[in-house]
Amino acid sequence: MPGKLGEREIIRILTGIYGKGTRSPLDFDDDVAAVPLTGKRWMILKSDMLVGSTDVPPGMSLWQAGRKAVVATVSDFAAKGIRPRALMVSLGLPASFGKRAILEIGSGLDKGAREYQCKIVGGDTNQSDDLVIDCTGAGECDPGTLVRRDGARPGDVVAVTGKFGNSAAGLRLLLSKKKMNWSRAGTLTRAVFLPRARLKEGLILARTGMATSSIDSSDGLAWSLHELARSSSVGIHLETVPLAREAKEFAEKNGISPVELALYGGEEYELVVTVRREGFERVRRRVPALIPIGRVRQGPPAVTANVGEKTIRVEARGWEHFRKNVND
């Protein structure tokens, strides 16, 4: 039964079936798929699905859901340093949805597409019991410019494009249905309702030639770090956990671990990258949002972090469908 399996185990089962004998430039585990057109040109594809019951929290409008579906797809292109040129959008719509609901979803999709300068060129619609928005993005690149997951090397600087925890804290706040008389509550809910893809930063990072590996953090910072470590066969040590101020205050007010929010929450859509040490300061001048948080180390794939005066082992977990998650 699917309920007894996690999303990643289901993917391993499926790719074990239709991946046999298939030679692809990128692993199934990477953020996007690549199809060689010529020796110097690859077509880049990515599909991402939003489902109402699992991806649309209380209070999120259909407009915000439509935009979020685009952001999630674009974010994976950002991690590779590639601009998506077009989107195909397929919709599963409950029969109860009227014209106003359709207009709201369509406007949100259009806003996301315009925001990241990629056109919606087609798709499909069907009736379903739950809202489903499936976005497939398409782009192209020179293989030499694409930033993979498997290039991290000992000595590289580990960096992120923003701080973490606000989305996880915001989701907890929304699911609790409590009203907080706190000025920063709006910042947390905006992180959930209006995420942004770091496309501009990803494109610049790729052009510098200094980024050795990259991944988007939608499944959580901890999981993203483990994926880079596993793909590159290296260890990663965090000298600091990039915790957002608002998430820290929320955790303190509610008696929960701020580190848990930052490492395991998910849905942040930041980039997690490794950059050659000798070029890091030059890269940071071009991408001011970049925050150094640690180093790549020699050794077996593992992730550790300094938390206070202790060094902890960062678990390989994050957001996963069919599993219990930090915000459940």
Q: What is the pLDDT of residue 325?
A: 54
Q: What is the pLDDT of residue 177?
A: 72
pLDDT higher for 176 or 5? Answer: 176
Are residues 129 and 187 part of one domain? no
Mean pLDDT over the full length of the chain: 92
Residue 241 binned pLDDT confidence (cut-offs 50, 70, 90): very high
Backbone angles phi, psi at 126, to 5 degrees: -155, 165
Evaluate if residue 221 carries a pLDDT over 80.
Answer: yes
What CATH number does the domain containing 202 carry?
Answer: 3.90.650.10
Answer with the one of 125, 145, 165 that is the final residue of a domain.
Answer: 145
User: Within 13 Å and on the Cβ side, how many CA atoms surround 181?
Assistant: 0
Evaluate if residue 23 carries a pLDDT over 70.
Answer: no
Q: What is the pLDDT of residue 139?
A: 97
Residue 64 maps to a domain: yes
Are residues 179 and 50 part of one domain? no
What CATH number does the domain containing 136 carry?
Answer: 3.30.1330.10
Are residues 161 and 138 part of one domain? no
User: Within 13 Å and on the Cβ side, how many CA atoms surround 151?
Assistant: 22
Per residue in 76-111, pLDDT (tens digit) is 999 999 999 999 999 999 999 999 999 999 999 999
Give the predicted TM-score (pTM) of the model: 0.91
Are residues 212 and 271 part of one domain? yes
Whole-angstrom distance, CA of residue 37 vs CA of residue 225: 31
**What range defines the domain where residue 258 resides?**
157-313
Are residues 65 and 190 part of one domain? no
Are residues 166 and 295 part of one domain? yes
User: Within 13 Å and on the Cβ side, how many CA atoms surround 140?
Assistant: 8
Q: What is the pLDDT of residue 1?
A: 42
Closest CA to 60 of 194, 217, 196, 218: 194
Closest CA to 266 of 202, 298, 297, 221: 221
For residue 229, the one-letter residue type is A
Whole-angstrom distance, CA of residue 209 vs CA of residue 276: 9
How many domains does one find in the chain? 2
Whole-angstrom distance, CA of residue 73 vs CA of residue 93: 20
CB 44 within 8 A of CB 138: yes
Residue 108 maps to a domain: yes
Per residue in 231-240, pLDDT (tens digit) is 999 999 999 9
As given in the structure block, the two tokens for residue 230 are: 């596993």
CB 71 within 8 A of CB 58: no
